Structure 1
Amino acid sequence: MPETDTPALFRLEIVAEDEDFDRVSGLLALDAAFGWEEESLAGGETRFTVHCESEEYLRRLLDQVLLMAPQAGTNLARVEKQDWLAAWRQFFTPVLCGSRFVVLPPWLAGTGDFPGRIPILIEPKSAFGTGHHATTALCLAVLSELLDAGRVEAGQTFLDLGTGSGILGIGCAKSGLGGVGLDIDPLAVDNARENRAFNDIAPAVFEIDAGSVDAVAGRQFDLVLANILARPLREMAPAIAAARATGGCLVLSGLLESQADAVEAAYREQGLPQARRSLDGEWCALVWA
């Protein structure tokens, strides 16, 4: 029988001590291209298992893990391919985020279990942001607060930087805003466009493209959301701050509370006032509104 063209599948295992749990899980929520599994070990550690068709991608992820958690044990190997989407269905649960949103998989699109909430449909074959991690949930909770307070409203514009699954941009679009989602990872761009279609959002309402903040240089938005890592948030502070329209709102997430002072300082240097902080465990969102 001839060989098929089915791509190989690779597995990255990460064993992290308890003190590194939030760092590793946060990195996976922001940077992992495919869904991961978590297993609590007898010694108190957690084993994270990530599967992906790109060995190169997992090697880059491994390097990121070791930068954030140098004591973590890691192993990268080639494995037999399985139906990972079917496995996702066994444990993906709806996530309530803030006062307004509920994140659902597409097969629960018609559920009536969450009256009064805006459903955001996310295909859980990827971990670009399903709402299960504090970094994503924090942003949606802050978005809910801004909408409730009237600081963000229908008809305004948004920029979703590091859009990942598109979850934040979808929340904005379903709240009546229009804008742009950008991500430097082409896998994320494909995933976000797929989720945009699941949510019946027109491309003209929520544009999704490859790139970073320089792709919208010269444009300004009523709301800027950036759910990425602390270092790029600091490095891109001038461009991100410039993308915020006068009187607009800025939300930065993807950072540990211990990193918040340094990130906030980078934006204070751009003339912004002191930020409000929204916390969930070790994770922090900085909010200017």
Structure 2
Amino acid sequence: MSDESQVTWKVTLPCTRSEGQAIADDFSPLALLDPPPVLITREADPAAPDNWLLDAYFELEPDARLLAMLRSLIPSAAGAAPVIEKIRDEDWVTISQQGLEPIHAGRFFVHTPAHRDAVPTDAISFEIDAGRAFGTGQHETTTGCLMALSRLKDEGAHFSNLLDLGTGTGLLAFAAMRLWPVARATASDIDPISIEVTEENAGINKVMLGRSRGQLELVVSPGLERHRLKARAPYDLIIANILAAPLIDLAPSVAGALQAGGRLILAGLLEHQAEKVANAYRRQGLIARFRIERGEWPTLVMRKRRSLSRR
């Protein structure tokens, strides 16, 4: 008999391309489970680019409740029978790492431990493990933010006080710190698990934690409500890779925390949501600078006017 402690359970369901891309960075409420599953989405057949698969890895055999939670992420799979199988842990380690291919975006190269030997010599590299992480660089929104940061650097932008709002794995905060290494940096998330993951990833990537210049302060906070986030304001760079609805709701507080002339990177929105999100920030005195197109997921870069009469 096999030792059940050495077995991982894998559930595979079909999904659409848009569902798979949306899952990559946000899979609540499954992310709140202890331990959470690892979700990997992939294109099943290059000849059918809209037909993807979702692989979910659980430490325990998934029951009807967990399967229902999984199905809630992918409405298109309502009538599909899940494929459930057991795999040994040593196989799971290989599968989980190989399932996340490296991402090269702008100046950055993001990889799992399985691809340490593939790092280009001219890239700024980060190692983000599969583990509990969400926001590993695989999603178009994260890639778009990395490209936006690279472009701002190429344009000669300088930042001294930056905030990664909704940090996930900490990747975008790490990337901004590498480009502007003497800046004060803050990473926040509503989910305490995200902050734990960010702290782990900071150690792996040799990012110093703390409140001084060149260090990253971590804060658990819904939006910008916590005192520490308000005390660190105003920021000259805010990165917010979350979802369209909270981006709109947070527009007054985010704009209020951004200094005049500061830059704002907005992501986590679909193409048809971009104008509504942009308008919410235009009403707060921001103007569009440029956008990064990544399939259905644009990344918006805006600047806060120095005065209402000047552009």
Q: TM-score, normalised by structure 2?
A: 0.76
Q: Does 1:15 align with 2:14?
A: yes
- Closer, same or farther in 2 for the Cα pair 1:264/1:52, shift >3 Å? farther
CA deviation vs aligned residue, 1:28-80 (integer Å, no higher than 9, x gap): 122134231436279863221223459888866654x36xxx44437789875
The answer to whether the Cα contact below 8 Å between 2:12 and 2:55 also exists between their aligned partners in 1 is yes
**Paired residue type of 1:206:** L
- Closer, same or farther in 2 for the Cα pair 1:272/1:170, shift >3 Å? same
If you compute each CA radius of gyration, which structure gives the higher value, 1 or 2?
Answer: 2
State the shift of 1:264 in Å: 0.9
CA deviation vs aligned residue, 1:193-235 (integer Å, no higher than 9, x gap): 1111001111111122322322223522111001111111111
**Paired residue type of 1:202:** M
Name the stretch that deviates more: 206-215 or 193-202. 206-215
State the shift of 1:27 in Å: 2.1
Runs of at least 5 residues in structure 1 that lack an aligned partner in the other structure: none
- Closer, same or farther in 2 for the Cα pair 1:149/1:198, shift >3 Å? same
State the shift of 1:107 in Å: 5.2
- Closer, same or farther in 2 for the Cα pair 1:209/1:278, shift >3 Å? same
Name the SS of the counterpart of 1:145 in structure 2. Answer: helix
Partner of residue 184, structure 1:
190
Q: Give the counterpart of 2:177 among 164, 173, 178.
A: 173
State the shift of 1:187 in Å: 2.4
Q: Does 1:30 align with 2:34?
A: no
Name the SS of the counterpart of 1:280 in structure 2. Answer: coil
Residue identity over aligned pairs, in percent, reads 32
Tell me, in whole angstroms, the C-alpha distance in 2 between the residues paired with 1:138 and 1:72. 28
Partner of residue 276, structure 1:
290
State the shift of 1:126 in Å: 4.0
**When the two structures are aligned, how many residues end up with a matched partner?**
275
- Closer, same or farther in 2 for the Cα pair 1:262/1:203, shift >3 Å? same
Name the SS of the counterpart of 1:174 in structure 2. Answer: helix
- Closer, same or farther in 2 for the Cα pair 1:186/1:266, shift >3 Å? same
Q: Give the counterpart of 1:94 among 91, 95, 102.
A: 102
- Closer, same or farther in 2 for the Cα pair 1:276/1:220, shift >3 Å? same
Partner of residue 162, structure 2:
158
Q: Does 1:244 align with 2:258?
A: yes
- Closer, same or farther in 2 for the Cα pair 1:59/1:224, shift >3 Å? farther
The answer to whether the Cα contact below 8 Å between 1:28 and 1:127 also exists between their aligned partners in 2 is no
The answer to whether the Cα contact below 8 Å between 1:138 and 1:280 also exists between their aligned partners in 2 is yes
Name the SS of the counterpart of 2:267 in structure 1. Answer: strand
Name the SS of the counterpart of 2:288 in structure 1. Answer: coil
- The residue correspondences of 1:4-83 to structure 2 (distance < 5 A) are 13-16=12-15, 20-22=16-18, 24-32=19-27, 33=31, 34-38=38-42, 40=44, 45-52=51-58, 62-63=71-72, 65=73, 70-73=75-78, 80=86, 82-83=88-89
Tell me, in whole angstroms, the C-alpha distance in 1 between the residues paired with 2:6 and 2:193. 15
Tell me, in whole angstroms, the C-alpha distance in 2 between the residues paired with 1:59 and 1:165. 26
- Closer, same or farther in 2 for the Cα pair 1:10/1:167, shift >3 Å? same
The answer to whether the Cα contact below 8 Å between 2:20 and 2:52 also exists between their aligned partners in 1 is no
Tell me, in whole angstroms, the C-alpha distance in 2 between the residues paired with 1:236 and 1:195. 27
Tell me, in whole angstroms, the C-alpha distance in 2 between the residues paired with 1:184 and 1:53. 25
Tell me, in whole angstroms, the C-alpha distance in 2 between the residues paired with 1:124 and 1:224. 26
State the shift of 1:275 in Å: 4.9
State the shift of 1:81 in Å: 7.0
Tell me, in whole angstroms, the C-alpha distance in 1 between the residues paired with 2:70 and 2:242. 15
Runs of at least 5 residues in structure 2 that lack an aligned partner in the other structure: 32-37, 304-311
Tell me, in whole angstroms, the C-alpha distance in 1 between the residues paired with 2:6 and 2:254. 38
Tell me, in whole angstroms, the C-alpha distance in 2 between the residues paired with 1:27 and 1:122. 19
The answer to whether the Cα contact below 8 Å between 1:221 and 1:243 also exists between their aligned partners in 2 is yes
Name the stretch that deviates more: 213-222 or 251-260. 213-222
Name the SS of the counterpart of 1:234 in structure 2. Answer: helix
